[in-house]
Chains A and B, each alone.
Chain A
């Protein structure tokens, strides 16, 4: 269902330690938001794009497909920084282009950080990481169960959708809406049924309300951490000095 999830499991850096990847992505993300956009944003965007495409060998097509949606939002939002509303109606805002360029630069830099994290690290690893950072066990478990159900339900929804399309259920907006309505109305009881079946299955095996699964912890490489810290320190220094 999600090409992001597939790439997150198959990329070359899948087996690098979570700490290294999270430090790189989140560290750079924080720098992108905190530092003035020029020139830090450009440096961050280049480093993170290179890390994703060259380091982790994320397919360029997937990377671009993921970036397209947010970029559409960004460009339409940036328009409103360029214009201003005054007594005469719409006019070009003084310094609007600079403000919009700064916003675009910062957002693109932050987006490359998010894409790097999303495309190199499976969501389950990240939730396990959050658990270690103090997220309550119940919530972490809920998130992992949600993740599991998500793919099951998406499969069901996709086959329902295909069945409707094959029966002319997508002809015209009106019929499309009623098809989608019946799809959703059938999906919810199925989701709850499925949950109940899973729960009965677990109860039959003596489940007491806690799920224990094996998680692999990867050794942290000192060289990797040092490199990440050096890159971040360099970017921060550059961002502060040059701006």
Chain B
């Protein structure tokens, strides 16, 4: 869920930029190393970034009947790994602000934190954990994508609540208010995206030929 331009006060904008910075720099350093070792992976990474952007331009049927779009964070985290997703996600969010007026420049730090850092890391952790616990691949992928989306949505609600706490019940009340308003669209979206990611991974697993290139991106193979 994108926080729009100008929604957060200046101090919060700066704070979220500062919180995202270590991940962005870490991702950038990692990305520079991958690119320095194999210049050809530059193309693959760019294609992966563009792929993530295009996902967000596709319409997805959601349970409430309203159309929403997949975020691709879960898929990206499982396929490419969360480290690289921080940089790709930042580039994608910048282009979403500039090409679709989705999100904003002052709120870029906050959006990067919820969508390019928290979402992918949660998805990736859930995916690893579910795999270790012996869940089937379909269940693990569903949980990774759906919980990644829910984590993003929860983070956004907390970000909004920190900026605008409830006069009576403080930040907790504000989290409930913002969470409640956006739950109508975000919870069905998470479920739909979970199902969608399962369909995608099922179809992708029949194409193991490309696995080596993807593994290079996620840093598993040097």
Contact = CB atoms under 8 A, between A and B. Distances in A.
Interface in A168-209: 173, 176-178, 180-189, 191-196, 198-199, 203, 207-209
B44 A114 contact: no
B99 A209 contact: no
B172 to A, nearest CB: 9
* Chain B interface residue bracket vs A: 35 or more
Interface in A27-42: 29, 32-34
A177 B164 contact: no
Contacts of A79: 181
Contacts of A149: 46-47, 49-51
A177 B95 contact: no
Task: State the main secondary structure of chain A at its contact with B.
Answer: helix
Contact of A110 (B98, B106, B198, B204): B106
A213 interface: no
Nearest to B197: A181
B91 A34 contact: no
B162 interface: no
A128 to B, nearest CB: 13
Contacts, number: 252
Nearest to A119: B101
A5 interface: yes
Contacts of A2: 99-100
Interface stretch (B35-43, B116-124, B127-135): B35-43
B105 to A, nearest CB: 6
Given A93-B167, A146-B92, A147-B95, A187 B54 contact: yes
A232 interface: no
B26 interface: no
B4 A74 contact: yes
Ranked 7 nearest A-B pairs via Cβ: A110-B6, A181-B199, A185-B203, A209-B39, A145-B46, A149-B50, A195-B43
Interface of B: 2-7, 9-10, 13, 28, 31-32, 35, 39-40, 42-51, 53-55, 57-58, 60-61, 63, 70, 75, 79, 87-88, 91-92, 94-95, 97-102, 104-106, 160, 164, 166-169, 173-174, 176-178, 181-182, 192, 195-196, 198-204, 207, 210, 213-214
9 contacts: A5-B99, A107-B7, A142-B31, A146-B92, A146-B95, A149-B47, A152-B50, A176-B61, A196-B40
